[in-house]
Amino acid sequence: MKKIFELEQRHGSIINGLIKTRNDKQKEDPVHYLFNDLNLKDYSSLLNKYAIYYLKDGMEILPKTLVEHLQTLPNVELIRNQTIQKIQFQENQIEISTRTNEKYHLNHLISALPAFELSKLIDNEILRSRLDQIPFVNMIVINLLYQREDIFPKEAFGYLIPSRENSHLLGVLFDSCIRHATDKDKRGSQLTVMMGGVWFDELRLGQCTDEQLMHIAMSELKKQMNLDEKPVVYSIARLNKAIPVG
């Protein structure tokens, strides 16, 4: 984990660090084998060639693959099913206490928690106050599946909507276009509608029922894409405090 941290700090990202240090790190750096199924030179070419990436089996495959790899490293210990209760900053170390009264002492701590959750665990008032000042906005994401395969005006990633358009939507993703290589055997068309963000409260989206949200989405899609048909299947996700804003 220290190697990964150093690569990210020194080169801006783990991948850049791997590429730039591959010649003299292959024998001693276990991080090199994170991509042992793909030559790093080819991987660099892929990064420069494409602007959009997705994982064939979904985002879940990323943490699963990382866990599988970390389990093979002799200097890594994975601790599962532990709930952190408190994080204390001591003079020369960090102490983490769990709800089962386990204590761990660390030199460095990297948190993947959102700021508003991390602040509940911190005993440092200044740091807790700074974390609580980071604002988050709510999002609504609607996934829609249509029977027709030609609903998109053109093959593209999708589109974002400028605020001056006064639309209830933030943007629309053309999922079937993005994943055409892996979804070519699937029928129909899928797209994703995004709503909310900094305009979530102003538009009173939190007060809308699912039926009202669908009515808004369908009206906007008809106006923007000339899409005037009902989806075969849809799902609505209300994501509270989804995105931090600066």
Q: Which domains does the chain have, with CATH numbers?
A: 2-70 (no CATH), 84-132 (no CATH), 136-244 (3.90.660.20)
What is the pLDDT at residue 208?
Answer: 94
User: What burial letters (b/e) apply to 141-167, b meaning 16+ CB within 10 Å?
Assistant: bbbbbbeeeebbeeeeebeebeeeeeb
- Per-residue confidence (pLDDT) for residue 150, from 0 to 100: 82
pLDDT reported for residue 30: 43
Long-range CB contact pairs, 57-66, < 8 A, 24+: none
pLDDT along the chain (246 residues), means of 10: 55 59 49 49 65 74 89 89 92 92 92 93 91 94 90 85 89 82 70 92 92 95 92 94 86
Q: What does the alpha-carbon distance between residue 6 and residue 110 come to, in Å, rounded to a whole number?
A: 13
The continuous run of DSSP H or E covering 191 comes out as strand 189-196
* CA–CA dist 14, 209 (Å, integer): 43
In the prediction, which pLDDT does 141 show? 96
Residue 239's pLDDT is 94
What is the model's pLDDT at position 31?
Answer: 42
Query: 71-85 b/e with 16+ CB inside 10 Å = b?
Result: eeeeeeeeeeeeebe
pLDDT at position 25 is 47
Q: Whole-model pTM?
A: 0.69
